Structure 1
Amino acid sequence: KQNGKILFVKNVFLIFKHMLLRGQDNECDKITNLDFRETFIGTSPDVRLLLYTTTHNFSREPLFNVTQPTNFVIHGYRPTGAPPVWIDHITHLLVAQANMNILVVDWNRGAANLNYFTTVANTRYTATNITGFIQRMRDEGASLDSIHLIGVSLGAHVAGYIGAMLGGRVGRITGLDPAGPMFTGVPPEECLNPSDAQFVDVLHTDMNSFGLRGTYGHIDFYANGGLDQPGCPKTIFSGRSYFVCDHQRFGFLYLCALNHTCSITAYSDFLSGQCLQCEAFKPASCPVLVYDLSQWRNTLLKLSQTRVYFSTTAEPPYRSDYRVGIITWNLYLRWGVVTIYLHSGKNVTESRIDHKLLRFEKYTATRLLAQFDEELYPIQKISLRIATGNVIGPRYNIWLLLIQSIQITLHSSFFPRPLMWQYNIIMEENAEVTFQRLPCDGSCL
């Protein structure tokens, strides 16, 4: 296989020298693939390891070098018995990050069971096996500081158990949408928590269904609030995708981050548009969903547990956000909801900013975050509507001195510099007004 060689290890308690085999004649193996009959009957738990490394000259170097950093990738519940489709993608992207060992934990014979309760029970068995293997690695000279456990769904709790058994001394645990069923409301020692490793980072995409609601790391990333993901079905009539789409989005986002094709910045005060105010992280910038979080790690450890949020579109590169500033000069106080429309030819995308009623008063600047489900280019004009909810009384005017798109936060070659508009106009409430783009120099900022 390109970028690495796979070594099959039958049982993690085999003599450690089996991980030091040399040569290119070792048979490649893949993660266990079970059929529906086996998952229906049930399987006995069994744990295997698949090794990917960046070593190419196998005839001169051992396949497994305990002095290098080692990442364990741990999949979750597999009700159909099929291997995760993302395994090959994540391993090849991980070996591209740095010189390291990648060990895929194949516990499919414990995870593939229609009885979810049995699978949950098997997480402890799996964690015990992997813990024993890591202890043997340590005996052979490995450092726990260089161990990174990446757990997916139910695998995130397996990673937490391993970390707890090792006294929280492993270097890092990454939990990708930790499983929620049977883990909601349990004591910290029963699920992934910050004490399980020196540093724990968590990504949430489905907290209202298969994912776990709450804060479980030193930093928790909440994609689209950690709930419903753009592009996922909204009704049960969509079949299986309705149930799994939100939960599976963690994989696409993490792979995109590993591949450096997305630049997903997260903010503490996200929906209110306070995107530039990451005071706690100065001199570094706001946290970004990336593999290497080292520049924020020390700050996050001092802050204990930090929640950060970001929005995405339905498709890569997953970002199309604008920070929008509005200065109102109207004499009387108005409350309302803003909807912004972007136009590119016949294509239109809109953002309704309705997470709270906005306050518009004289000489007041309001900063908003407009999130769009579609990326349009080039943006030829914009429309704006301020809805006050006033349907029976007279419509009042709102004097907007300045509307400006301060900065587009999408990392794309299409947008080499911020896009800005400037206006001075009186508009009627509840009525959509379309603006053509006007010149705007640096004074707009």
Structure 2
Amino acid sequence: MNVSFSLFTRETGNTSERVFFNDTFTIKNSHFSPWRKTRFVIHGYTSTGKYGWVVDMCLLMVEVENINCIAVDWEDGAKCTYFTAASNIRVLGAVIAYFLNTLRKMYLYCPSNVHLIGHSLGAHTAGEAGRRLRGITKTFPGIGRITGLDPAGIGFEGFPDMVRLDPSDAKFVDVIHSNAGQFPNIGFGVLNAVGDLDFYPNGGMVMPGCNNAQPEHDHEDFIRETPMAGNCHHSRSHEYYLYSILYPNGFLGYPCKSYESFQEGNCFPCPIGGCPMMGHYADRFRYKVKKNTKYYLNTGAMEPFTSWRYKISVKLSGNARGLINIIFHDKDEYTNEYQIQRGSLKQGQSYSKVTDLDIHPDNATKVEFIWHKQFLTAVWDKLGAKKVTLIRGQDGHKSFFCGNGTVKYGVLQTLRVC
């Protein structure tokens, strides 16, 4: 399979050092430090670890934290048929476990300082390595953390724990589901929870900003016609993880019984213990995990994919029939409009909606109210936002904006903090 390991540290800058799992000389003469945490990044089917997202992730992580980051490349074993590649992860998992055992012997390096990040088949590779190192001795417990980025579902969904990623493979296992398959649609990822903390952004199957069509083929046609590395929905998981390093609060997961319930606003705001952050900082929530709980969130459709969940309540001045919206502007002149209510609107009534904002209200340069006419809207009707209340999903914090008077439909009303 020609497995290779490329080490990135702050000392190596934008380049890397090649280290060999079976050659201690290359490790000793590298910038690997046993005093730092080590993160491995493992690609999936048809992908590579020589360039692209794997390298980008390592470069970003060593920029924001002083760690060893190792990009794992097994391209030769990943670009064959899918089921051959799926079999190859057993060998790859054994190689990674051997490498970690070598570090243990050389430096007494504890596997609990290791974080394996794997996408697709790479997620199950991480699980295989973790299973092999599970409590090797009382002094050296198993791997500290595994992050599964849309773990491959075909050939793994519903199979026993020992052949796929599961919570026992590390002290903490977090998972992002971005392309789970559910009949009649087929996805590349697993649908069932396979970690201690399972996140289902946008429901976990279809991601905004991608082609929303999910194919309805048999598994063999699906694998043959759509390479995993190029599947937008499947790849979103590692893109979300990358941006979570920079914007941790932009990816909060809300505990909820289903995505449908989450969409209805039934799981708002976060519970007293808080909501976990999907992605890089998920382990900050490791001791608050509730068993058999799934975490949901919505993301933006464009980079950096961040989203902040708020409950917006608008108390009206005036009576009319129409649609009421709130508009947020940011410093980059990006604007987005969010609908709160439609229909018959009454003086003094408050209308509320839980919504996901891709502009953080704290960073908004301007907030406006606007309403639009509907059928039977009278030409003389006017409406205004007397008071707008924003309740932050993260902690229930409230902020208030007020407007003066009323405006005709299509006319902007600027709101001020009050």
Q: TM-score, normalised by structure 1?
A: 0.66
Report 1:399-410 matches (<5 A). 404-407=388-391
Distance in 2 of aligned mates of 1:259 and 1:347: 20
Report 1:148-227 matches (<5 A). 148-167=115-134, 169-208=142-181, 209-227=187-205
Distance in 2 of aligned mates of 1:370 and 1:188: 37
Q: Call closer, same or farther: CA 1:181–1:434 in 2, change over 3 Å.
A: farther
Q: Call closer, same or farther: CA 1:405–1:186 in 2, change over 3 Å.
A: farther
The one of 277, 282, 295 aligned to 1:288: 277
Distance in 1 of aligned mates of 2:64 and 2:306: 23
Asked whether the equivalents of residues 77 and 112 of structure 1 are also in contact (C-alpha less than 8 Å), the reply is yes
Q: Call closer, same or farther: CA 1:3–1:66 in 2, change over 3 Å.
A: closer
Asked whether the equivalents of residues 178 and 201 of structure 2 are also in contact (C-alpha less than 8 Å), the reply is yes
Q: Which moved more, 1:305-314 or 1:155-164?
A: 305-314
Q: Work out the number of aligned pairs and report it.
A: 362
Report 1:290-369 matches (<5 A). 290-300=279-289, 303-321=290-308, 323-326=310-313, 340=325, 342=327, 349=336, 351=338, 368-369=353-354
Distance in 2 of aligned mates of 1:119 and 1:225: 28
Distance in 1 of aligned mates of 2:204 and 2:292: 16
Distance in 1 of aligned mates of 2:241 and 2:87: 27
Q: Which moved more, 1:65-74 or 1:146-155?
A: 65-74
Residue matched to 2:54: 87
| 1:76 Cα deviation after fit | 0.7
Residue matched to 1:109: 76
Query: Does 2:405 match 1:420?
Result: no
Distance in 2 of aligned mates of 1:386 and 1:211: 43
Distance in 1 of aligned mates of 2:339 and 2:391: 18
Query: Does 2:263 match 1:278?
Result: no
The one of 10, 19, 35 aligned to 1:3: 10
Residue matched to 1:77: 45
Distance in 2 of aligned mates of 1:339 and 1:151: 44
Distance in 1 of aligned mates of 2:373 and 2:285: 38
Q: Call closer, same or farther: CA 1:96–1:305 in 2, change over 3 Å.
A: farther
Distance in 2 of aligned mates of 1:82 and 1:139: 26
The one of 41, 66, 74 aligned to 1:99: 66
User: What one-letter code is carried by the residue in structure 2 that aligns with 1:313?
Assistant: G
User: What one-letter code is carried by the residue in structure 1 that aligns with 2:29?
Assistant: L
Distance in 2 of aligned mates of 1:263 and 1:219: 17
The one of 368, 382, 400 aligned to 2:369: 382
User: What one-letter code is carried by the residue in structure 2 that aligns with 1:291?
Assistant: H
Q: Which moved more, 1:226-235 or 1:199-208?
A: 226-235
Q: Call closer, same or farther: CA 1:378–1:170 in 2, change over 3 Å.
A: same
Distance in 2 of aligned mates of 1:369 and 1:325: 6
Asked whether the equivalents of residues 325 and 368 of structure 1 are also in contact (C-alpha less than 8 Å), the reply is yes
Distance in 2 of aligned mates of 1:436 and 1:108: 56
| 1:97 Cα deviation after fit | 3.9
Any stretches of 5+ residues in structure 2 without a counterpart?
Answer: 1-7, 136-141, 182-186, 216-225, 257-261, 317-322, 376-382
Deviations 1:289-338 (CA, angstroms, capped at 9, x unpaired): 352345422122xx235322221212234234452354899xxxxxxxx9
Distance in 2 of aligned mates of 1:231 and 1:20: 45
Asked whether the equivalents of residues 69 and 100 of structure 1 are also in contact (C-alpha less than 8 Å), the reply is yes
Distance in 2 of aligned mates of 1:241 and 1:294: 27
Asked whether the equivalents of residues 340 and 370 of structure 1 are also in contact (C-alpha less than 8 Å), the reply is no
Q: Call closer, same or farther: CA 1:228–1:383 in 2, change over 3 Å.
A: farther
Asked whether the equivalents of residues 173 and 197 of structure 1 are also in contact (C-alpha less than 8 Å), the reply is yes
Q: Call closer, same or farther: CA 1:220–1:433 in 2, change over 3 Å.
A: farther
Report 1:240-279 matches (<5 A). 244-260=231-247, 263-269=250-256, 270-271=262-263, 272=265, 274-279=267-272
User: What one-letter code is carried by the residue in structure 1 that aligns with 2:277?
Assistant: V
**In angstroms, what is the RMSD of aligned CA positions?**
4.5
Asked whether the equivalents of residues 403 and 413 of structure 2 are also in contact (C-alpha less than 8 Å), the reply is no
| 1:423 Cα deviation after fit | 9.7
Distance in 2 of aligned mates of 1:152 and 1:241: 10
Distance in 2 of aligned mates of 1:219 and 1:384: 41
| 1:67 Cα deviation after fit | 4.2
Asked whether the equivalents of residues 42 and 49 of structure 2 are also in contact (C-alpha less than 8 Å), the reply is no
Q: Call closer, same or farther: CA 1:373–1:293 in 2, change over 3 Å.
A: closer
Asked whether the equivalents of residues 256 and 262 of structure 1 are also in contact (C-alpha less than 8 Å), the reply is no
Residue matched to 1:394: none
Asked whether the equivalents of residues 149 and 177 of structure 2 are also in contact (C-alpha less than 8 Å), the reply is yes
Any stretches of 5+ residues in structure 1 without a counterpart?
Answer: 23-62, 330-337, 355-359, 392-398, 411-416, 426-431
User: What one-letter code is carried by the residue in structure 1 that aligns with 2:180?
Assistant: M
Q: TM-score, normalised by structure 2?
A: 0.70
Asked whether the equivalents of residues 400 and 417 of structure 2 are also in contact (C-alpha less than 8 Å), the reply is no
Taking only the aligned residue pairs, the percentage that are identical comes to 27
Give the secondary structure class of the aligned counterpart of 2:255: coil
Report 1:28-43 matches (<5 A). none
Query: Does 2:209 match 1:231?
Result: yes
Q: Call closer, same or farther: CA 1:227–1:252 in 2, change over 3 Å.
A: same
Q: Call closer, same or farther: CA 1:4–1:260 in 2, change over 3 Å.
A: farther
